[in-house]
Structures are given as structure tokens and as C-alpha cells.
Amino acid sequence: MTKQEKVDFVINTLKELYPTIPIPLDHKDPYTLLVAVLMSAQSTDVRVNQITPLLFEKADNPYDMVKLSVEDIREIIKPVGLSPMKSKGIYGLSQILIDKYDGKVPQTYEALEALPAVGHKTAAVVLSQAFGIPAFPVDTHIHRLMYRWNLSNGKNVIQTEKDAKRLFPEALWNDLHLQIIWYGREYSPARGWDLDKDIITITIGRKSVIDDYYKKKK
């Protein structure tokens, strides 16, 4: 298969598997999504979705959030991990949103990445999922699958993002990054992987990855 045929196979397979695409993190607006994505660092979406209702019951906007103390926020979000850093980030970004943006979440990478505890991936998720701005956030699933599918060299997430944006049409980025995440969780996980059920990897995957898989099974 040519590289373009592989890309088309990925697009068509994912569209068939995920015609409607759920958003992993529960939220109601750009602010609650921003907080939820920040909380998801080195945690799971399931755990975050269990904790955000407790936090948002007390504060679901920056004005109410800064009425809490950093310690208050930390106590609520402790189960998601890294709570000292995340609580300071949530409080700090909430104050900045009030001071600089009238309590609204900005819609540029530059402004988002200038907020406390907000990195490139978090900014990309917010731009994509909250505002519909084309972005291709790369998480561990996308990084793993782009390598398995021989569509990226696996050096780092920065390179993987560049490769994804180069290969896939911009109009599909917002859907594709979510479809790949769901596919990675269901069909091509890091652990408990059953290659025989992973139709994309077994069809277009990197030969060395497939060979290693079957060697380990012997």
C-alpha cells in the first residue's frame, strides 16, 4: 500500500467504527473542559469524570473558583493525582481569566499555553473540542498508534503531531484525534493487546512491530 492508501484506510476504518464520536471528558463549556483536561494529566478520564462533578458543584466558573482556596481545590481533586500542581494551576488560571479575559477562555495557543499548568496538548484539546478550531492533540494512544501504523517514527509527540497534521486533511483533525484515541483504547492498547483484533495495525502496521508481537506470543 502507498502512504496515501494507508491514510485513506485509517480514515475510512475509523469513520466506520466511530460514526459518532463521544468526548472523553465530561464538561459543559470551555472553562470546565479546560479544568478537566488539566486534571487529566497522568490520570484517567474515568477518574477525572468521577471528581469533576464534586469540584464543579462548588465552582464551575473562574469567579467561583477563586473564592475557593488552593487547599480547598487540592482536597477535592486529590484522587486524580498531582493535586498540588493541578490545584495551583486551576486557581491561577482562573484568576488570569478574570483579570485578562473577562472570565472567558481564550482561543489561541499562545494565550492558552501562557496559563498556569496548561501545556500544548491541553491547549490543543480545548481549541479542538471547545471551539472547533482544527488541532491534533497527541496523547499516548495516538503516539503509540502512529508508530505502530508506520505513519510516524515515534521519536516524540511533537514529531508525531507534525506527521499527523501533514498526513491527514485538516478538516478531519478534530474527529480523527478522538477516533484514534477510542480505537487505541479498544483495539490497540499498550497492554493486553490482541493484534488479531487490531484491523488497522494488522493491515498497514510496521513490520517490526508485528514481528515482535508474534515472537512474544510464541
Residue 86 bears catalytic tag: no
For residues 170 and 176, what is the distance between their CA atoms, to the nearest angstrom? Answer: 10
Neighbours of 183 (CB within 10 A): 24
CB of 147 closer than 8 Å to CB of 108: no
Residue 194 bears catalytic tag: no
The catalytically annotated residue of 6, 121, 163, 198 is: 121
The catalytically annotated residue of 58, 64, 88, 139 is: 139
pLDDT in tens, 149-198: 999 998 899 999 999 999 999 999 999 999 999 999 999 999 999 999 99
Delimit the domains of the chain by residue range. Answer: 3-20+137-217, 30-131
Taking residues 46-54, what's their average pLDDT? 98
CA angle, residues 93, 94, 100, in degrees to nearest 5: 80
Architecture of domain 3-20+137-217: Orthogonal Bundle (1.10)
Query: Is pLDDT at 27 greater than 80 in this prediction?
Result: yes
Q: In the prediction, which pLDDT does 197 show?
A: 97
Q: Which CATH number fits domain 30-131: 2.170.150.70, 3.30.365.10, 1.20.210.10, 1.10.340.30?
A: 1.10.340.30
Query: Is pLDDT at 125 greater than 80 in this prediction?
Result: yes
Query: Is pLDDT at 218 greater than 90 in this prediction?
Result: no
